Amino acid sequence: MPQKIICEGCDEVLLDDTKLRPPGEVIKELDGKCPHCGKELIFNPDKIEINIL
């Protein structure tokens, strides 16, 4: 089940993984901000796009 997390600030794909991981854990690994544009990441299902196919 691929999972994808996309920054809403710059559309950078922050996570594109085949294994399902908690978004909160991923955000923590990224220090709570997008490494591309520096936008603060808040776990909000409305703001972080997660595609589970």
CB of 15 to Zn ion, least distance (A): 12
Which listed range, 18-26, 28-36, 44-52, lies at the site for Zn ion (CB under 5 A)? 28-36
Under the criterion CB under 5 A, does residue 14 sit at the interface with Zn ion? no
Q: Which is nearer to Zn ion, 1 or 14 (CB)?
A: 14
Helix (H) or strand (E) holding 28: helix 23-29
State how beta strands 49-50 and 3-6 pair.
antiparallel
Please report the beta strands in 1-53, taking only residues with DSSP state E, as ranges in sequence order: 3-6, 13-17, 49-50
The answer to whether 28 contacts Zn ion (rule: CB under 5 A) is no
